[in-house]
Amino acid sequence: MSRQAILGAIRRGLRRGELPEDQKLGLRARLTAHPRHLIPARSQVPRPAQIALFIRNVEKEFGTVARVTDAAGIPPAVAEYLAAQNLPTAFAMAPHPELRSIPWDSRPLLHPREGRAEPTDLVSVQHGYAGIAETGTLMLPSSPERPTTLNLLCDTAIVVLRVSNVCGPYEDAWDRLRAEPGFMPRNVMLVTGPSRSADIESTLELGAHGPRRVHVILLDDDPAAIG
């Protein structure tokens, strides 16, 4: 079905005809200009404070963070986290070039498997596209190199994120995504801590609709972010 046919069906369902020309112009201008909303001052700080804010907000939302100085530190960080949580050493991993280049064989007891997550996978390792310091949120756009199932099916989600990809406000993260070739992916997940719900008797339950653990491994690749 064509785009015009879909929009026509929606208009008929709403019993509404074509938009007036001035409203069309206003919508086109908004889509073209990407106006920025009011940006909280807390995210407009020097880089070291921005990274500290991101870490603080991740931890405030029941996530955890480990910081490593180079890619060689990622396998030990993953191994230590899995051991501390009594989790298996086999995990589903995004087939992203940056994750593939990590020296996983330095820890032979780790068993990464590239591809989408399966219902039996307990742990996933995902590539973090961007972090948002304003709220401690991870931006995870879908792509063949970033399967969305890794963000949803596994009980524990580990996200490898470069410090240079941590932004202050949401607007900066969206600007970064808009600059990508082809721009909009099919799906963009904004993840702020583990999945949780307090719908039943106001009791907080982690892992209600997705991972009950979110662990971020921050790779220090931005000298300006070192305080």
Domain ranges across the chain = 1-33, 45-225
In this predicted model, what pLDDT tens digit does every residue of 189-219 receive, in sequence order?
Answer: 999 988 766 555 555 565 566 689 999 999 9
Q: What is the pLDDT of residue 221?
A: 95
Q: What is the pLDDT of residue 202?
A: 59
User: Which position has the higher pLDDT, 131 or 13?
Assistant: 131
In this predicted model, what pLDDT tens digit does every residue of 63-85 receive, in sequence order?
Answer: 999 999 999 999 999 999 999 99
Residues 215 and 83: beta-carbon distance below 8 Å: no
Q: What is the pLDDT of residue 205?
A: 60
Output the six-digit token pair for 202.
Answer: 């106001």
Q: What is the pLDDT of residue 184?
A: 80
Q: What is the pLDDT of residue 208?
A: 61
Phi-psi region of 108 (alpha: psi -120 to 50; beta: other; left: phi over 0): alpha
Does residue 177 register a pLDDT over 60?
A: yes
Q: What is the mean pLDDT of the chain?
A: 89
Q: Buried b vs exposed e over 132-171: b needs ≥16 C-beta within 10 Å?
A: bbbbbbbbbbbbeebbbbbbbbbbbbbbbbbbebbbbbbb
Residues 205 and 218: beta-carbon distance below 8 Å: no
Cα 154 to chain centroid distance, Å, stands at 15
Which residue is associated with the tokens 């491994």? 217
Does residue 227 register a pLDDT over 70?
A: no
CA angle 183/213/211 to nearest 5° reads 60
Residues 117 and 150: beta-carbon distance below 8 Å: yes
What integer is the mean pLDDT of 92-108? 97
Which residue is associated with the tokens 């200009």? 33
Q: What is the pLDDT of residue 99?
A: 98
* Least reliable range by pLDDT among 10-14, 92-96, 161-165, 170-174: 10-14
Give the Cα separation of 189 and 140 in Å (integer): 5
- The Cα-based distances of 45 to 67, 161, 163, 190, 224 in angstroms read 20, 20, 15, 22, 12
* Range 45-225: architecture per CATH: 3-Layer(aba) Sandwich (3.40)
Q: Cβ neighbours of residue 26 under 8 Å, at least 6 residues apart? A: none
Q: How many residues does the chain have?
A: 227
